[in-house]
Structures are given as structure tokens and as C-alpha cells.
């Protein structure tokens, strides 16, 4: 069986920024006049919107078939050359690249006996490593300082500086351990949350409390560096979200953003974690109905200048995820529909291999629902359900089944609903997710189907609303229902108004109450 052509090279070249492509052309121009086969292949891929192996071969070999493994060897050579070009590019663009370059220069000069030049570069590298808290690099710099003094038999230098160097070495090791401790805690909390965003059916609160109740979370001053303090607040921020303590979620989010912005030189190097922190602050503001703050944070997020391609994707994803959520919470579904169209337009700029669509499909579904476009809502829900399964957001799998039943009810698919009820029950039982909310809702739909007139159906709607108010007291259910406002839908059916109108009125009342 013939092997499927690999698109690895295509994806790498297509992911390059305009500056990186320009740098590659300059990087290789010194080697040839620009007409070599690897340069022709590079330009062909850079200008190609869809991967087509045969078209690339025709472009490079002028419609003549390549001999043997020539083409695969050409691709491998170009892939390695692009990587070398990016490494050279990063030496000028990133702190780690600059430090690696400086330390390599020290090694080269040391080998050739240029010790004074070594010392100049070591000083420059040390200043950079301390400013950006690059403690691993700092250990190597301290090693070179000691090695250089030893090689030159500079006993006077060692006598004056050795104690200080040993102190700095111990401190750097301590800082690495300190950061590693907070990083471990952060990923433990992060993993628990990504597995199930809302706590239902099992007690994970005690597990999370055991992480953040450790002594090193008792005081932010125990975090010995800027990076450690960032991890300190990021971990607590996620913890408060997980245990539904929204005021503390908001407070730690504000402190985290202030901490990031207090050291802007770190943000010039890496904004990925800042994007995540801004997104969480937006979420906390939304949960507390601080919609003006949501809009300010969204503007700040939109105005960020990405450093990497991943940053560009994250800014796009977080901006639209939160902008669409804001429109949903405030009942502005027509505005949400326009934002959705803009989101889809912009998403065409990204490589589909790397672009995350699953989370948007669920939001698109609820937006279409609010616009009473039930066909569109069902299409997006099915797209979401057809995504590859993962442990991420398992709680939404249950809500998706509930939403599917509502959509088919709205579309009048009563015959299909009986089959869907059995299917949803089997799925939830198999996944051990037939909680009280899901069980009561399935029973509610079954009752609706048995009623022969509107008056009897209205009684069932009213009973389900009373049941929902009781069920919503359970851990995680109220927060889960913010993804789709089931209570607003029941109110709409009881009052004869649109779902969008009920959501708008409900949010207005909540905002007035909070003010």
C-alpha cells in the first residue's frame, strides 16, 4: 500500500510568520541565487493554500518525474534548513536564543584562549539571565566564571568572588526548585479542571484543597521570583474557579494581571500566560455581572500584539470565546451572530490542522438557538459531538444530550425524540453521568411527549421549572447551566416569549440587583 504523502514540511512553512519567511530567504540567498530546487519548493509551498504533493513535484521538476528518492530527500533537506533558519532567527528574537548564542560564543572563545573576550561575554550574559530570571542559564554562566578564573590561575579573583559565586549558585538552584514546586501545583489543579470544569458527582474539592493548603501557598512572599509568584496566583486563581468561589476567583485574577503588567519586559518575551490570565479575569467578571470590566478586558485582549503563531491563535480564540459568551449572557443574540460570522471569517487565516474548532461549535449552537435558528443550532451541536473524544469538558457531554432533546422538541421531531431519549439514557448511564438534572430532564421530555394538549404541556413545563430550582442547588449545576440557560428556556415556554427576550430581562434584573 502506497504511503500517504506527509504534509509535515507544508505545515511548518505555512506556519511561518512573514518576518520568518523573509529571514529564510535572506538566510539562504547567500548560498545560491534563489533558483535551487529547495528554494523553488519553499516558494511553491509558501504560496499554496491547500497541500498538493503532485503539484509541488511538477513545480520543482518541471513536469518531469523525480528520480528515486530525490524528492523525499529534497523535502528532508528543506525541513532541516527551515529549522536552522528559525534557530538563527530566534537567536536575535528571544532571550533564550540570545543566551544560548552568548554561551556558545564563550565556549568557542575559551577553546581558542581568548579569555578577556570570554569575560566580557559572560558579564553580558549574566546581566541578561538575572534580568529575565533564567536560572538554568545563570548556573552555566557561574560555572564559566569559575572555570575561567581557574584556567587563568586567577587566585585573587577566586579569593574575592568565590563566596559570592557559590551563594549565587545555591540561590539559583533554590529558585529553580521554588518555581518547579509551584509549576507542579499549577498543573495538578489545571488537569483537574480541564477534566471536568464544573464539580459534580464526586468530591474533588478536598483534593484541590490539599494542593493549595500546603505551606508555600500561605504567603505570596514565599514565591521567590516573578515567575514563581505568577504561578502562585495562577494556581490559586484556577482553584477558586474550580470550587466556585467567584469573588476570590476575581480578586486573584486582578492581582495576577497587575503582577504581569508590573514587569513589562517579561511580556515582551512571552505573552501566552498573560492571555490565559486575561481570559480568566474576563470569565470572573462575567460571573459577577461586571460587564463593563468584561468589555475593557476584551479590548485589552484584542489590542495585544502576538509574539508567536500560537499567541495569534490564542488571542483569536479567547477573544471570540469571551465575546460570544458576553453576548449570550446579556441576551444579545443578533450581535452574537454577527461576531460569530467575524470569527469564522478570521478563522480562515489559520492552518486548520492547528485551529481549535470544537469549543466554538458548542457556542455557535447556543447562539443559533437564541436566534431561533434550530437547524443551524443542531448542525453545530452535531459537529461538536462528532469531534474526537477527550477528557476535556466531560460535563458538556451531558449538557449536549439535554440540548439535543430541546432542539428536536423545538423542531417538532416527536417521533425521533422517543429514540433519542433511549439513546441519551444509555449514553449517560454508560458514562456514569446520569445525575439528578439529566434524569429529571429526560423524564420531563417523556412526560411532554405523552401530553395531548397545550394546557397539559404547560403544567409539565411548570413542574420542571420547580424541579430545576431544586436541582440547581447541587454543586456545579448552577455554573454548568450558564453554558445553556435551561431556566430561561422553561420561562420562555411558560410565558410565550422568545428565549432571547427572557435572557435579556433576566440579565437586566441581575445587573440591577448587583448594583
Res 387: pLDDT: 78
Residue 492 has pLDDT above 90, yes or no: yes
Whether 315 and 307 have beta carbons less than 8 Å apart is answered as: no
C-alpha cell at 334: 443578533
Whether 468 and 487 have beta carbons less than 8 Å apart is answered as: yes
Euclidean distance between CA atoms 181 and 134, whole angstroms: 16
C-alpha cell at 254: 486582578
Per-residue pLDDT, averaged over 378-385, amounts to 91
Res. 391 pLDDT band, cuts 50 70 90: very low
Give, in order, the Cα–Cα distances in Å from 189 to each of 22, 139, 178, 248: 41, 30, 17, 16
C-alpha cell at 108: 568557542
Cβ neighbours for 253, distance < 8 A, ≥ 6 positions apart:
237, 277, 280, 281, 284
Domain regions of the chain by residue span: 8-93, 95-178, 395-515
- Greatest Cα-to-Cα distance within the chain, rounded to the nearest angstrom: 99
DSSP class per residue in 233-277: HHHHHHHHHHTT-HHHHHHHHHHHHHHHHH-HHHHTT--HHHHHH
Euclidean distance between CA atoms 502 and 217, whole angstroms: 43
What backbone torsions phi and psi does residue 279 show, to the nearest 5 degrees? -65, -40
Per-residue pLDDT, averaged over 374-402, amounts to 80
C-alpha cell at 45: 509551498
Residue 109 has pLDDT above 90, yes or no: yes
Res. 353 pLDDT band, cuts 50 70 90: low
What backbone torsions phi and psi does residue 210 show, to the nearest 5 degrees? -65, -25
Residue 336 has pLDDT above 90, yes or no: yes
Res 308: pLDDT: 83
Higher pLDDT, 506 or 175: 175
Per-residue pLDDT, averaged over 35-43, amounts to 88
Please tell me what DSSP assigns to residue 215: G
Euclidean distance between CA atoms 402 and 369, whole angstroms: 13
Nearest-CA neighbor of 135 among 183, 87, 93, 91? 183
Angle 313-315-320 from CA coordinates, rounded to 5°: 100
Could you give the percent of the chain with pLDDT greater than 70? 91
Res 68: pLDDT: 65
pLDDT digits (tens, 9 = 90+) for 208-250: 999 999 999 999 999 999 999 999 999 999 999 988 899 999 9
Residue 457 has pLDDT above 70, yes or no: yes
Q: The cell 557559590 sits on which residue?
A: 166
Residue 467 has pLDDT above 80, yes or no: yes
Res 112: pLDDT: 93
Indicate the pTM of the whole model: 0.80
Residue 28 has pLDDT above 90, yes or no: no
Cβ neighbours for 354, distance < 8 A, ≥ 6 positions apart:
11, 15, 309, 313
Of the listed ranges 18-22, 177-181, 269-273, the least confidently predicted one is 18-22
Res 1: pLDDT: 35
Give, in order, the Cα–Cα distances in Å from 18 to each of 82, 93, 308, 309, 392: 14, 14, 12, 11, 34
Amino acid at each position: 500500500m502506497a504511503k500517504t504523502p506527509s504534509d509535515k514540511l507544508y505545515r511548518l512553512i505555512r506556519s511561518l510568520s512573514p518576518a520568518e519567511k523573509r529571514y529564510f530567504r535572506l538566510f539562504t540567498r547567500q548560498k545560491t541565487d534563489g533558483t535551487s530546487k529547495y528554494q523553488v519548493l519553499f516558494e511553491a509551498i509558501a504560496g499554496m493554500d491547500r497541500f498538493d504533493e503532485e503539484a509541488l513535484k511538477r513545480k520543482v521538476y518541471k513536469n518531469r518525474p523525480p528520480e528515486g528518492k530525490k524528492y523525499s530527500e529534497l523535502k528532508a533537506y528543506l525541513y532541516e534548513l527551515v529549522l536552522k533558519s528559525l534557530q538563527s532567527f530566534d537567536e536575535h528574537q528571544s532571550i533564550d536564543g540570545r543566551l544560548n548564542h552568548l554561551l556558545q560564543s564563550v565556549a568557542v572563545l575559551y577553546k581558542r584562549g581568548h579569555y578577556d573576550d570570554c569575560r566580557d561575554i559572560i558579564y553580558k550574559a549574566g546581566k541578561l539571565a538575572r534580568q529575565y530570571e533564567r536560572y538554568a542559564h545563570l548556573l552555566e554562566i557561574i560555572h564559566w566564571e569559575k572555570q575561567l578564573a581557574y584556567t587563568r590561575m586567577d587566585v585573587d579573583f577566586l579569593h574575592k568572588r568565590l563566596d559570592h559565586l557559590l551563594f549565587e549558585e545555591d540561590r539559583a538552584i533554590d529558585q529553580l526548585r521554588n518555581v518547579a514546586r509551584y509549576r507542579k501545583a499549577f498543573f495538578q489543579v489545571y488537569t483537574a479542571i480541564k477534566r471536568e470544569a464544573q464539580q459534580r458527582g464526586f468530591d474533588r474539592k478536598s483534593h484541590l484543597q490539599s494542593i493549595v493548603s500546603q505551606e508555600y501557598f500561605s504567603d505570596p512572599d514565599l514565591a521567590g521570583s516573578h515567575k514563581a509568584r505568577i504561578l502562585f496566583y495562577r494556581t490559586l486563581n484556577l482553584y477558586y474557579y474550580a470550587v466556585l468561589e467567584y469573588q476570590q476567583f476575581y480578586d486573584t485574577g486582578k492581582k495576577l494581571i497587575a503582577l504581569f503588567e508590573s514587569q513589562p519586559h517579561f511580556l515582551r518575551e512571552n505573552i501566552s500566560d498573560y492571555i490565559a490570565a486575561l481570559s480568566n479575569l474576563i470569565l470572573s467578571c462575567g460571573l459577577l455581572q461586571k460587564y463593563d470590566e468584561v468589555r475593557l478586558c476584551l479590548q485589552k485582549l484584542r489590542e495585544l500584539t502576538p509574539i508567536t503563531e500560537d499567541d495569534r491563535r490564542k488571542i483569536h480564540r479567547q477573544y471570540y470565546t469571551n465575546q460570544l459568551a458576553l453576548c449570550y449572557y446579556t441576551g444579545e443574540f443578533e450581535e452574537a451572530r454577527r461576531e460569530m460570522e467575524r470569527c469564522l471569517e478570521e478563522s480562515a487565516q489559520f492552518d486548520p490542522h492547528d485551529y481549535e474548532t470544537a469549543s466554538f461549535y458548542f457556542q455557535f449552537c447556543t447562539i443559533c438557538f437564541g436566534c431561533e435558528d434550530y437547524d443551524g443550532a443542531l448542525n453545530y451541536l452535531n459537529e461538536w459531538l462528532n469531534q474526537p473524544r477527550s477528557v476535556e469538558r466531560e460535563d458538556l457531554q451531558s449538557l449536549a444530550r439535554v440540548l439535543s432533546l430541546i432542539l428536536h422538541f423545538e423542531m417538532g421531531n416527536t417521533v425521533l425524540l422517543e429514540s433519542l431519549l433511549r439513546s441519551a439514557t444509555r449514553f449517560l448511564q454508560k458514562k456514569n453521568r446520569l445525575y439528578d438534572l439529566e434524569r429529571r430532564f429526560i423524564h420531563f421530555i417523556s412526560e411532554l411527549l405523552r401530553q395531548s394538549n397545550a394546557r397539559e404541556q404547560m403544567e409539565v413545563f411548570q413542574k420542571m421549572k420547580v424541579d430545576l430550582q431544586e436541582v440547581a442547588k447541587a454543586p456545579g449545576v448552577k455554573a454548568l447551566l450558564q453554558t445553556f440557560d435551561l431556566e430561561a428556556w422553561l420561562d420562555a415556554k411558560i410565558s410565550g416569549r422568545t428565549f432571547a427576550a427572557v435572557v435579556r430581562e433576566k440579565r437586566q434584573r441581575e445587573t440591577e440587583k448587583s448594583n
